[in-house]
Amino acid sequence: MSETIEKYLVSTDSTFEHVIQRLDENSGGVVFIVDDNEIMKGILTDGDVRRLILKGISTDKVVNDLMNDNFVSGSINSSRSENIKLLNNKVHHLPILDESGIPVDMISWSDLWSLPIAQPFLGGNELKYITDCISTMWISSQGHYIEKFEESMVSFLGGGKGLCTSSGTTALTLSLAALGITSGDEVIVPNITFGATANAVIQLGAIPVFVDIDSRSKTMCPVAFQDAITNKTKAVIPVHLYGHPCDMDPILEIAKKFNIYVVEDCAESLGAEYKDKKVGLLGDVSCFSFFANKVITTGEGGMVVTKDDSLLGKMKLLRDHGMSPKRRYWHELPGYNFRMTNLQAAIGLAQMEQIDKFLIDRREIVDIYNKKLASIKTIVRPVEESWAKNIYWLYSIELQDNDSLITKNMLMTRLKSVGIESRPVFPPLNNQPAYRSDNINSYPVSEKFAKNGLSLPTANGMKIGDAERVCNLIKTILK
């Protein structure tokens, strides 16, 4: 008997409560029921469990009286291809039985096919440019691909000047440091975002102040931003979350009124637009990430973009150990090593050559999601406001907060069982150990979104058929 199959087994004299616990442990959505001789007698899926709960079945009830004894199984004497043919939209896990009827192994859809939530597509000039770096031995933080990558970025954005960094997080840290953010200063951050946004603030000794998000776009609420301003507030970081831009006009107006710096977090929004302008040139400085799951990637890496030459010079100085560009090894400031390598920039340049295609392909996937999921009343689809162009870095849906027995975690488990990766939306920062404080503010929109929100695959290279399959499975699961 394989180790894999053991975590799916329960005995006929087990209680209904034990079945629920085992389902939670294996995350596969099914248990196989065996007698004292380990011979398989029945099956229960998480769908069966929900129906039994609806009927008011006691958790003390014995499984033998609840199981489905009309199940499909494969044989150890059949070929793998013959057993695989038994899998279908209803049979996602196939127990493999020996001659005595004892389950010895299993085959799952997820073993045969998988759809990642995000992945890079490296089908352009990446290898060619990297080979050039290696053959010329320009592999460190100097080389012409650095400048070319920066130029390609600002050309795509339509202005500004770019500076490569080692990551999106260091781009944020560099921006805040160059703006003079220091110990005791307050920086306003949306409560739903990846931790890097707050980490960059904390690393400089400043204090992140969390505010709630807008109920539609799930980005920073301008009213909440204004309400959080104190005489210590020095900057705000609007995050264009999951590819949808923030409502920037009111944020910029408020920031100007109170003399607050605006640092755009564009890690998830390359190509998104606010009122026909690409995000990244709306605030004082913007920060991009090129981690492997982003729209374009350099493996790890980031970039700051600004229209302010003075600020650019300060960031360039800080990025390179604070060394003077005019005098070697002369440190004008205690800086950082936040540089990107020429190798990474070479990949980034090749990726930028394909970005228009990446965004067009992504929109086609989103159109399938929007069309296929529109009829499911229990799902709230991500919006695209009239003033926005959403690039849907991740297609993040929200289950209606009602009495449905299907929870976010259940849906994710069922999708995983057939090889489809999904992930929960970011949990509120104010609840996490690294950021928890005595702040008594409430964040109702953040909490509701985190409770019910999950993201579906939007990987580069994803096919139309993949999106259709995701939608069809979601419909089946939610019935």
Pairing of the two strands 388-389 and 273-274: antiparallel
Backbone φ/ψ region at 239: left (φ over 0), alpha (ψ -120 to 50), beta: beta
pLDDT given at position 1: 58
Q: Give, for 211, the enclosing helix (H) or strand (E).
A: strand 207-211
Type of residue found at 177? A
pLDDT given at position 213: 98
SS (H, E, C) 434-454: CCCCCCCCCCHHHHHHHHHEE
CA distance 378 to 413: 17
pLDDT given at position 437: 72
Write the DSSP string, 263-329.
EEE-TT-TT-EETTEETTSSSSEEEEE-BTTSSS--BS-EEEEES-HHHHHHHHHHHBTTB-SSSTT
The residues, any chain, with a CB within 8 Å of residue 256's CB and separated by 6 or more, are none
Q: Which residue has the tokens 């929900």?
A: 50
Pairing of the two strands 302-306 and 161-165: antiparallel
Q: Of 12, 31, 87, give the one whose Cα is nearest residue 413.
A: 31
Q: What is the DSSP letter of 101?
A: S
Q: Is 434 exposed, middle or buried (0-12, 13-18, 19+ CB in 10 A)?
A: exposed
Q: CB atoms < 10 A from the CB of 427, how many?
A: 17
pLDDT given at position 109: 76
250 contacts 230 by C-beta, under 8 angstroms: no
Sheet of 388-389, strand order: 277-278, 273-274, 388-389
CA distance 247 to 218: 11
User: Which parts of the chain register pLDDT below 50?
Assistant: none
Please give the model's pTM, rounded to 2 decimal places. Answer: 0.84
- Could you tell me the two tokens for 185? 């200063």
Type of residue found at 81? S
CA distance 187 to 263: 10
The pLDDT tens digits of the residues spanning 260-304 come to 999 999 999 999 999 999 999 999 999 999 999 999 999 999 999
Q: Is 444 exposed, middle or buried (0-12, 13-18, 19+ CB in 10 A)?
A: exposed
The residues, any chain, with a CB within 8 Å of residue 435's CB and separated by 6 or more, are 195, 198, 202, 208, 210, 429
